[in-house]
């Protein structure tokens, strides 16, 4: 690492190793990559929808929702002209419901400010609601084949293991070093293949808890391979420790939206909604239900009426809850 890189916490990969990694990984992806619908297109809107959907959602679960959503809303204009309630219904029970609100706002901004065309510049993409550095870089790369770099969970884990070693019990690299490494690893003119291949390696081989090192195409180049099994064996089971945090509210939000998607446009009475969610629902449960509904209202996913009945304490069971 050069003196300048040390001062700026930027990691400069060994050029020969970097080229060897690219040379092994991209052909492996071409032979082994999954056939996914968003990989068959360079349509920026479809790529954007897929990237919004896929964050923290399993690929197999996302595919049918993606296909039905883009069939209904094949362009930003189509989504921008639809009521938000239709978008929420199309989103179904995929979860992460705030994303569909942001995507609906994004579609309208794309129409208003970009003539209905998804911008190719990552800086312009970052100005869209709900679009962060990863999504902006991924859309620029996968839709426009720009030499953009980005980090998601899979890429971060793969690069850390390849160049720094096991990421547990504590990461050895700073985020700035990983970002610099991600940028340095992008082969000019081949960003699409590289981005897809490194993400696919993390999904299929370099898994978080059970990496398949014996079947890894770059295993011989991996700094973590000699110690990865031992490091993971001592890894704390964080998922168990945090199990249930925020779970009930997220579960009931999803159930409320499931009821509202099937309800008529005027919605459903609060008491009826409560009985659909909890057996034996009564007046004493109204404050609990109010908290669930208010979280949806805050995120733009539901609305209540009339206001005077909703503002009562507790709110009246005759209040109607509907999609926005």
Q: Please, what sign has the CA dihedral across residues 110, 191, 164, 204?
A: positive
Kindly state the tokens that stand for 225.
Answer: 């391979």
CA distances from 231 to 71, 153, 161, 210 (A): 45, 18, 11, 11
Pick the catalytic residue: 3, 30, 31, 51?
Answer: 51
Residue 51 annotated among the catalytic residues of the structure: yes
Q: Please, what sign has the CA dihedral across residues 264, 266, 267, 271?
A: negative
Kindly state the tokens that stand for 274.
Answer: 């409560």
Write down the residue that tokens 């970052």 correspond to: 126
Contacts of 39 (CB under 8 A, 6+ apart): 33, 196
Whether residue 101 contacts residue 84, with contact meaning beta carbons closer than 8 Å, is answered with: yes
Helices 84-91/247-262 angle, 10° precision = 120
Where in the sequence numbering do the catalytic residues fall? 51
């Amino acid at each position: 690492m050069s003196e300048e890189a040390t001062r700026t916490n930027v990691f400069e990969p060994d050029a020969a190793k970097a080229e060897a990694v690219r040379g092994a990984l991209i052909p492996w992806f071409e032979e082994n990559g999954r056939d996914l619908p968003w990989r068959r297109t360079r349509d920026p809107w479809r790529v954007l929808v897929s990237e919004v959907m896929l964050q923290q959602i399993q690929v197999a679960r996302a595919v049918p929702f993606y296909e039905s959503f883009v069939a209904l809303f094949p362009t930003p204009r189509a989504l921008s002209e639809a009521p938000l309630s239709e978008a929420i219904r199309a989103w179904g029970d995929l979860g992460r419901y705030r994303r569909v609100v942001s995507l609906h706002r994004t579609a309208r901004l794309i129409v208003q400010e970009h003539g209905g065309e998804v911008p190719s510049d990552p800086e312009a993409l970052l100005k869209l609601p709900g679009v962060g550095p990863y999504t902006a870089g991924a859309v620029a790369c996968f839709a426009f084949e720009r030499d953009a770099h980005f980090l998601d969970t899979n890429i971060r884990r793969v690069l850390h293991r390849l160049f720094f070693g096991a990421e547990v019990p504590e990461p050895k690299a700073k985020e700035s070093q990983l970002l610099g490494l991600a940028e340095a690893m992008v082969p000019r003119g081949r960003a699409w293949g590289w981005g897809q291949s490194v993400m696919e390696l993390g999904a299929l081989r370099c898994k978080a808890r059970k990496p398949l090192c014996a079947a890894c195409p770059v295993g011989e180049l991996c700094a973590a391979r000699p110690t990865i099994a031992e490091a993971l064996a001592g890894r704390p089971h964080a998922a168990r420790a945090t199990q249930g945090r925020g779970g009930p509210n997220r579960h009931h939000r999803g159930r409320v939206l499931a009821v509202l998607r099937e309800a008529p446009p005027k919605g459903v009475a609060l008491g009826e909604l409560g009985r659909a969610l909890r057996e034996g629902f009564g007046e004493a449960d109204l404050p609990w239900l109010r908290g669930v509904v208010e979280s949806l209202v805050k995120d733009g996913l539901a609305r209540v009426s009339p206001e005077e009945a909703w503002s009562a304490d507790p709110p009246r069971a005759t209040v109607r809850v509907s999609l926005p």
